[in-house]
């Protein structure tokens, strides 16, 4: 029961974080990309950031919040895949391209934390289901 409550809180929190990024990207994509030194100087660039960082994160955030109450394991899988993809990409870039700025480094730590917690909670949920059988 305790794992269920912790997982619910975690998924809602992560969902809200996704929604925060989404709203910022939908309203002001240049401000989001300015953190990494990218200039969005044409409608296609603005469109792409609004779609990916805005639209995709909006729906991922809504799904994570929903999954907190219906289908926690599925929400955790999405969190594992999403944060894991970022961690792998950032670590590869770190080894190939060198040290990024502080903003990107901070996100590497946040995404790594989300990945580890998601993996641990997913494992705990699976153990609970095995015990219940």
**Residue ranges of domains in the chain:** 2-132
Nearest of 5, 11, 2 to residue 117 by alpha carbon = 11
Nearest of 71, 50, 49, 56 to residue 4 by alpha carbon = 71
Average pLDDT over residues 78-104: 97
The confidence score (pLDDT) of residue 128 equals 78
The confidence score (pLDDT) of residue 1 equals 66
pLDDT in tens, 47-87: 999 999 999 999 999 999 999 999 999 999 999 999 999 99
The confidence score (pLDDT) of residue 21 equals 95
- For residue 101 the two structure tokens come to 């700025």
Whole-number percent of the chain with pLDDT over 70: 96
């Amino acid at each position: 029961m305790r794992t269920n409550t912790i997982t619910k809180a975690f998924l809602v929190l992560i969902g809200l974080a996704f929604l925060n990024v989404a709203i910022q990207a939908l309203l002001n994509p240049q401000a989001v990309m300015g953190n990494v030194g990218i200039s969005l100087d044409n409608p296609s660039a603005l469109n792409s950031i609004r779609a990916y960082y805005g639209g995709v994160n909006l729906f991922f955030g809504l799904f994570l919040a929903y999954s907190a109450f219906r289908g926690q394991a599925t929400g955790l899988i999405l969190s594992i895949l999403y944060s894991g993809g970022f961690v792998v990409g950032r670590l590869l870039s770190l080894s190939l391209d060198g040290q990024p700025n502080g903003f990107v480094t901070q996100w590497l730590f946040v995404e790594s934390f989300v990945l580890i917690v998601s993996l641990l909670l997913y494992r705990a949920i699976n153990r609970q289901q095995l015990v219940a059988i």
